[in-house]
Structure 1
Amino acid sequence: MNRAIRYSSKKALLIALVIGMIPSILGGALVYLKSNADLSGLSATAVKEAARQIDVMLEEAENASDILLTRAGLPCPGNISRQLQELVATYRFLRSTHLAIDDKIYCSSLPPSEASPGTDPNNYLHGRLHLGNQTLTGSNSSALTLRSALNNASSLVEIDGRHIQDALHLIDRHSNLVLEIGRHWMSQDGIIHHASFENYPIASTALSSEKYGYTLYAAYPAGTLLTYMLNTYLLLLVLLLALGLFAGVFTYWMLGRVLAPSLELQRALSADEFTPYLQPVISSTSGKCVGCEVLARWYHPQEGSISPNSFIPLAEQSNLIISITKRLMEKTAQELVPYASKLEAPFHIGFNISAKHFESFELVDDCISFLKSFKPGQIILVLELTERELIQPTRTATRLIEKLHALGVKIALDDFGTGHSSLNYLQLFKVDYIKIDKSFVSMIGANALSVHILDSILDLALKLDLQVLAEGVETEEQRDYLGACGVDFMQGYFYAKPMPVTDFVSKALHHPQKNPALP
């Protein structure tokens, strides 16, 4: 096309920014989801491993408790106390063992100076577990106590809180592992807390023990997700940013170039951007508007109105001319039918066709549809052959002309005298009209040789019994000369420019233009 179809710089920049952000946004979202899934997996693994280790400790405590209960109710001489101490030495996680009757400790592995755990079952989760601080050798330390009962006897086995702390801290020190038993909970620093527990917001995971009833929590503090993304997927994030930058710059560069014309034509056709403009055809004898030539106008969203000379050749090369012509005929019928009663019957309506139309019979169906839109005899459909592409005299082309004539469609040879095949077309096809090119009309009064050529064309048309239409009439002198030479019809800017259908109806119809050269 002669005119470049470009996006405005602001719109191109906006589109480029959007395109450039897509890889970063989508990729960043995927990295975010993957990082969140990674952290959720880590926290789930952490609570499972912590639960496994704590269960091992409690199973040891249960084994010790089973042995203790066999001695429940027996007096507690020195040998029994030593047996309790031996249990502590035998099992690696135990800190102390105790025997109680009616919830009163009467035998312990600890010396009398050391505090023993409480025995009230109400202070134990499900009467079994208690988490709290105990005094041992003059210092406070945490302990997890397992209580087992048999009749009125009970055993209390304490697990050293340092082992619980190690399980919480060493598995994953970043996941804030917490052990909760009843109203008490232990953090990774080994401190027992009695206030309500609030977990961190990232990848929060909880696991409750069906056997013992405790609950483990794991989560990460705010900001961990971003840190994890940068530490783990920094290279991928940089690549996504680079990809987005490249996509944005490339898009901006591409939008600054001329779009692929055939693709733009296809888009315009889908968007119904082609509209008919009508240029009046005037009778040389009556001065009335007796017809019109339908010209395509392309209203591009950025470029505005684009003339046929800018896109019709490309439409022919890209095989879109048939679809454009079909749509032009449909829209012309839709817009002109409401004003059909104002037309000078039989009203000539001309459409330009090209060599592509002669490769199939689709044009016949289009013409039938167009003629059915009007009352019989109301219009004469004229198809104007252009010479931008050579029409081959194939059997299909010959049969097409025959079918068109059978419908009453007239054939006009456009721009006669300028193409190398004008005379050949007169021999091959049954032509009803010839249209004298405006290049000859413009030489009237200025170039004697061109006027002689014009006279020869008119003489040829007379001998072949062809009607003549002169294009490009722009002056009174041209109008008068052509009228005096017997030209049947005229069109040009002297009468009117191509215009929308509504303007054509209001301005061009029923405004006779008398030719002074005629009596």
Structure 2
Amino acid sequence: MIEKMKFSQKKEAEKNVLIIRDEIDRVLTHARIASDAAAHLLAGQCDAATQTGIRKIVATTPDIRTVSLLRGNEIYCSSVFGAQYFRLAAQSTPPAGFSLMDGNALTPYRSLLIYHAVHAGKSVMVGIDGYYLQYKLKINDRRTDYQMTLNGLTLNAAGQVLTHRDPTASLRYFSPEYQYQISANPVAPVSPNLLLKDIWHEEKSGVFLTFLLSALLSTFTSKTLSQRNTLLFMLEKALDKNELIPFIQPIIEAESGNTVGGEVLMRWKHPQRGHIPPDQFIPLAEQNGLITRITQSGLRHVADALNSAGIIPARDMTLFFNVSAADFINHDLLEECREFRRKTPLSGWQIGLEITEREPVEDTHVAQALCKRLDALGVQISIDDFGTGNSNYRYLMQFRPHYIKIDKVFTSGIETDASKEAIVRNIIAIAQDMRCMTIAEGVETASQKEKLAEMGATHFQGFFFSKPVEIATFFQNTRNPLP
């Protein structure tokens, strides 16, 4: 029986390796397409038309994070920094073709793949976020670990770039077109659940099944009892009991200094464990299909609070709720927004949805139809943490947002960091070209605020103005401008 399971697992791994190879081939093909599209721009200077051209390539080509133009080892034009010059050290200049890297100056702790195409002394360098490749390697197979090896470096499903490949891998498949390798290594070859399923469907051996069930019963009971103390189990119960409560961090209009909205952030205070940080339970919810319930809980809590308080603001207020890829696979989100509208008619409170960067939102017919109906309902879209994770130029084309949020990784220390200033100036310029507003996150000092205002940021969010507060406190603060 175990041998049959091993054979089945191998067949499943072989199928998945081919799927992964085809998906990564498609990503690498997009890099070549982007490079070919940018080649004609090498003939000119890094003027406004060239910068618009390379940003359009990034925006319209799937999976692409950056496009840069080089003379020798000097970057003279890029989709991120515009016309700023950067000289690459000889050992840091990627060779022609595809290369894996464990990070760069912009994102030193995030892997990326570079495609470098040389054209008579000049070259185009296309960057692909390693997250896209990592996402392909995370195929739904918990029994097997998949890795990609290119030019002696290996990328695993955790996003790490290793200088060696796994010598124990049982399967290795090469890409004939791009000369990289996908390897598969079993990490959980046999489990009681899989064995039980195999026996039930193939052997139907009643005597052995009865014996096996009795042998597993004590283990199952023990695990079930211990599960009650796990964070996932507690989170499910917390959602059932409405223990997660919304806090709101104000969003400030730069020009007037008025509070014009807020970001709704769900907080969890466990009866025994106390406050549990969002960075512990939000990823857990995303991994286990609970994130849509958290979105629903936030919308319902806030709508009920607004309905009960009966507060009509002096000006329109937009409350932004975080949504993820899971919210775009059906129309449940639309129904929740409609219910919010029904509970708060003509109140001056508007709905905003912040699309998070952690998991990619696929551009499906369902997602497209949902976005159109949300727009018709008056729901405003914001791209969260622009420039990180999946929040890139593709999202600008896909969602046509009302707001772009500038991540605090770029606003922190912007007063003295020329690279961050260049990035933020380009993000603001893109937003202005697309006629959408910007929200600068992580504003903690007056000097940050002044610098960002001078650069053209339209809105602020951060501890300089207020930490996230309970709904009642937020209602009170909206009556007066914050300092």
What is the TM-score with the length of structure 2 in the denominator? Answer: 0.52
Write out per-residue CA displacement over residues 276-322 of structure 1, whole angstroms, 9 at most, x where no aligned residue: 10111111111111111110011111111223222111111211111
Contact 2:405 2:441 in 1 (8 A): yes
**292 and 420 in structure 1: CA distance in 2 versus 1, 3 angstrom threshold:** closer
Aligned equivalent of 1:509? 478
Residues 61-460 of structure 1: matches in 2 within 5 Å? 259-376=229-346, 378-460=348-430
Contact 2:292 2:326 in 1 (8 A): yes
Q: What is the CA-CA distance between 1:340 and the residue it aligns to?
A: 4.7
Contact 2:354 2:382 in 1 (8 A): yes
Q: Which amino acid aligns with 2:285?
A: A
Structure 2 gap segments, 5+ residues each: 1-216
Contact 1:385 1:412 in 2 (8 A): yes
Report how many residues are paired.
Answer: 267
**494 and 421 in structure 1: CA distance in 2 versus 1, 3 angstrom threshold:** closer
Q: Distance in 1 between matches of 2:252 and 2:467?
A: 13
Q: Which amino acid aligns with 1:314?
A: L
Aligned equivalent of 2:439? 469
- Secondary structure of 1:465's counterpart equals coil
Q: What is the CA-CA distance between 1:271 and the residue it aligns to?
A: 1.7
Q: Distance in 1 between matches of 2:322 and 2:354?
A: 5
Q: Distance in 1 between matches of 2:228 and 2:442?
A: 32
**347 and 272 in structure 1: CA distance in 2 versus 1, 3 angstrom threshold:** same
Write out per-residue CA displacement over residues 77-126 of structure 1, whole angstroms, 9 at most, x where no aligned residue: xxxxxxxxxxxxxxxxxxxxxxxxxxxxxxxxxxxxxxxxxxxxxxxxxx
Q: Distance in 2 between matches of 1:431 and 1:365?
A: 20
**405 and 325 in structure 1: CA distance in 2 versus 1, 3 angstrom threshold:** same
Q: What is the CA-CA distance between 1:377 and the residue it aligns to?
A: 6.2
**408 and 377 in structure 1: CA distance in 2 versus 1, 3 angstrom threshold:** farther
- Secondary structure of 2:469's counterpart equals coil
Q: Distance in 1 between matches of 2:321 and 2:310?
A: 18
Q: What is the CA-CA distance between 1:259 and the residue it aligns to?
A: 3.4
Contact 1:286 1:513 in 2 (8 A): no
Q: Which amino acid aligns with 1:460?
A: I
Q: What is the CA-CA distance between 1:251 and the residue it aligns to?
A: 9.4
Q: Distance in 2 between matches of 1:317 and 1:362?
A: 19
Q: Which amino acid aligns with 1:316?
A: E
Q: Which amino acid aligns with 2:328?
A: F
Q: What is the CA-CA distance between 1:415 and the residue it aligns to?
A: 0.5
- Secondary structure of 2:303's counterpart equals helix
Aligned equivalent of 2:128? none
- Secondary structure of 1:350's counterpart equals strand
Q: What is the CA-CA distance between 1:270 and the residue it aligns to?
A: 1.0
Q: 1:485 aligns with which of 449, 452, 455?
A: 455
Q: Which amino acid aligns with 2:478?
A: L
Q: Distance in 2 between matches of 1:320 and 1:434?
A: 26
Structure 1 gap segments, 5+ residues each: 1-246, 515-519
Q: Distance in 2 between matches of 1:294 and 1:301?
A: 22
Write out per-residue CA displacement over residues 215-271 of structure 1, whole angstroms, 9 at most, x where no aligned residue: xxxxxxxxxxxxxxxxxxxxxxxxxxxxxxxx99x9999978893433222111112
Contact 1:333 1:373 in 2 (8 A): yes
Q: Distance in 2 between matches of 1:272 and 1:428?
A: 34
Larger Rg: 1
Q: 1:500 aligns with which of 467, 470, 479?
A: 470
Q: Distance in 1 between matches of 2:425 and 2:265?
A: 28
**421 and 493 in structure 1: CA distance in 2 versus 1, 3 angstrom threshold:** closer
- Secondary structure of 1:381's counterpart equals strand
**502 and 368 in structure 1: CA distance in 2 versus 1, 3 angstrom threshold:** same
Q: Distance in 1 between matches of 2:390 and 2:222?
A: 45
Q: Which amino acid aligns with 1:484?
A: E
Q: Distance in 2 between matches of 1:484 and 1:395?
A: 40
**252 and 301 in structure 1: CA distance in 2 versus 1, 3 angstrom threshold:** farther
Identity %: 38
- Secondary structure of 2:255's counterpart equals coil
Contact 1:292 1:349 in 2 (8 A): yes
What is the TM-score with the length of structure 1 in the denominator? Answer: 0.49
Q: Which amino acid aligns with 1:447?
A: D
Q: Which amino acid aligns with 1:302?
A: Q
Q: Which amino acid aligns with 2:475?
A: V
Residues 2-13 of structure 1: matches in 2 within 5 Å? none
Contact 2:386 2:404 in 1 (8 A): yes
Q: Distance in 2 between matches of 1:339 and 1:257?
A: 39
Moved more, 336-345 or 447-456: 336-345
